[in-house]
Amino acid sequence: MTRLTEEVKDLFKPRGDLFDLRREAAKVLSNDEWAEYKKQAEKFDGERRYVKRAYEHEYPARFAKAQRRLINEAGSVKRRLVYKVFGSDTFDKGEINRRAQMNVRRAHNNDLARIDQREGDVLRSMLSKAQKHSKEREKPIKDFQKTVDRRAGPDRRVRSWNR
């Protein structure tokens, strides 16, 4: 049952890992680092818009190219020792069109996934740097708190004096 709930969560998560990284970046990054990330994010958003626009405008050409490739693949000579009676017709127009549409959509989704992957890589490196810097900033504070103990009352100077 837990596997099913994880699959449902993954299904409704926008862009998967990238969503979690962005949420963590909002918590961890400083103002300067956040401004730098916003510049990078805007660049990646521009790339996504370009890929989507190119997909919409070039869809007929991409479809025709994929269709032509599938027709050539279906028409190629295959050396099988099967009687023609038992063979199958590889020139089913509906099947070729369906596969061509699937190939074009898959290529588009792969392009978007590559952009998401690159953005995730940039964001991971920025987060690791930010966490490293935050540890360096917090170290002197922790060291100071450890050396300067400001407890009040008799707890402050607990020593065992033997007279």
* Residues above pLDDT 70, as percent of the chain: 74
Is-contact 37 123, C-beta < 8 A? yes
- pTM listed for this prediction: 0.67
What's the chain's Rg over C-alpha atoms? 30
Give the tens place of pLDDT for each residue, 37-59.
999 999 999 999 999 999 999 99
Please state, as a whole number, how many other Cβ atoms lie within 10 Å of the Cβ of residue 67.
Answer: 18
pLDDT confidence tier of residue 20, bands split at 50, 70 and 90: confident
DSSP string, 29-62: --HHHHHHHHHHHHHHHHHHHHHHHHHHHHHHHH
- φ, ψ of residue 148 to 5 degrees: the values are -100, 100
- The whole-number pLDDT of residue 83 equals 67
CA distances, 143 to each of 6, 75, 118, 134, 135 (Å): 42, 75, 38, 14, 12
Tell me what pLDDT residue 160 has. Answer: 54
Under the banding of pLDDT at 50, 70 and 90, the label for residue 106 is very high
